[in-house]
Structure 1
Amino acid sequence: MPVLRLTLVLGLALLSACAQKSTTSLALHQKQQSQCPLTLHTGQQLILRMPSNPTTGFRWLVRDSAANVLQSLGPEVYSNPEDAGLVGSAGVSTWRFEAIQAGEGRLHLTYERPWEVGVVPAQRFDCEIRVK
């Protein structure tokens, strides 16, 4: 009977350890692009925050999402600072990703007016992503 009890306890401990998922996240802002290339671990989340003002017609467009190593956790979320309250004030666009497998990819965004063809983007964000 003690062997059965020990096996049960060890089995539950193993299941508990397997059920825990890495919940650490890394927040990255446009001005931190110098930290690239960026190394993440499988299961780690990346939160990308970019200054944005869609009322001017400019938007951040994801050109390359490093889909071979990152999975999007939802669409872009735009928010205004709480204290602004002014129509046309700038805010922040946020994307959430999770590192899904080891490898390398490129996270590349451009800040532009989508209807302006042949115009150089006002800003770029380009970061190599390495997942271990």
Structure 2
Amino acid sequence: MSLARLIPLFGLTLLTACAQQSAHNVIVEEQSDCPMQLHTGQNLTLTLPSNPTTGYRWAIQDSAGGVLRSLSPEVYKSADSGQLLGSGGQSTWRFQAFAAGSGRLRLTYQQPWEPEAEPAQVFDCAITVK
């Protein structure tokens, strides 16, 4: 087969792979993105606004452990690359759907030294894996 015929074929294959990859990853940034339906093997990236300089942190209360597996610990990124002291940013977690079933991904935003206090925010997402 000539090189002129292989280039379009390779391009089509690459586009197909990219389309499948984006469908393989699911991004959740708001409570309104829930409930969430995933397929076994899909990756879920959860990104929530956060500002640890206030003393508040997101804590995972329920990780939907029967259906989701953690791929990484929380990663915090400042919105301004650390230039402005006290500014907020985003906390991100990555999970993979590994088994069929259902569970809840539940996080609370509170100060760790006051566990009995009402959380300032709650993220609660029903997860179903098929």
* 1:73 paired residue among 58, 68, 71: 71
Q: Which runs of 5+ in 2 are unaligned?
A: 1-19
Name the SS for the 2:53 alignment partner: helix
* 1:99 paired residue among 74, 97, 100: 97
Task: After TM superposition, give the deviation of residue 82 of structure 1 in Å.
Answer: 4.1
Q: Which amino acid aligns with 1:80?
A: S
Task: After TM superposition, give the deviation of residue 74 of structure 1 in Å.
Answer: 1.1
Partner residue, 2:128? 130
Name the SS for the 1:55 alignment partner: helix
Identity, % of aligned pairs? 56
1:25 lines up with 2:32 in the alignment = no
Name the SS for the 2:73 alignment partner: coil
- Output one character per residue of 1:20-57: Cα deviation in whole Å (capped at 9) or x when no partner: xx741010013xx1232210000000000000000000
Partner residue, 2:34? 36
Compute the TM-score of the two structures, normalised by the length of structure 2: 0.79
RMSD between superposed Cα atoms in Å = 1.7
Range that drifts further, 70-79 or 116-125: 116-125
Greater Cα radius of gyration, structure 1 or 2? 1
Q: Which amino acid aligns with 1:105?
A: G
Distance 1:25 1:119 in 2: 35
Compute the TM-score of the two structures, normalised by the length of structure 1: 0.78
Q: Which amino acid aligns with 1:108?
A: R
